[in-house]
């Protein structure tokens, strides 16, 4: 059976996988045109949030060799 290819964009989006298997990603709006945004928006966009179960299932298919 041949090796599976890893989706490179998916690996860049996932920040961390917790010990319990939860996938974390950064919030959006943190990078582009920051000078227009409020401090509240900028600070809250630095946080990591958990993917929902449907997205987690998709990410597991896109990143087959990622360690838990």
pLDDT tens-digit profile of 18-64? 999 899 999 888 788 889 999 998 888 888 999 999 999 999 999 99
pLDDT at 68: 65
pLDDT at 7: 94
- Residues 42 and 26 sit within 8 Å (Cβ to Cβ): no
Interacting residues of 19 by C-beta distance below 8 A, sequence separation 6+: 68
Closest C-alpha among 33, 61, 59, 62 to residue 24 = 59
Q: Where are the domains of the chain?
A: 23-56
pLDDT at 49: 93
| pTM value surpassing 0.95 | no
């Amino acid at each position: 059976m041949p090796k599976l290819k890893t989706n490179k964009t998916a690996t860049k989006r996932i920040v961390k996988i917790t010990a319990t298997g939860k996938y974390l990603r950064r919030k959006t709006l943190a990078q582009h045109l920051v000078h227009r945004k409020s401090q509240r928006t900028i600070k809250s966009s630095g946080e990591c949030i958990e993917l929902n179960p449907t997205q987690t299932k998709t990410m597991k298919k896109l990143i087959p060799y990622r360690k838990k």
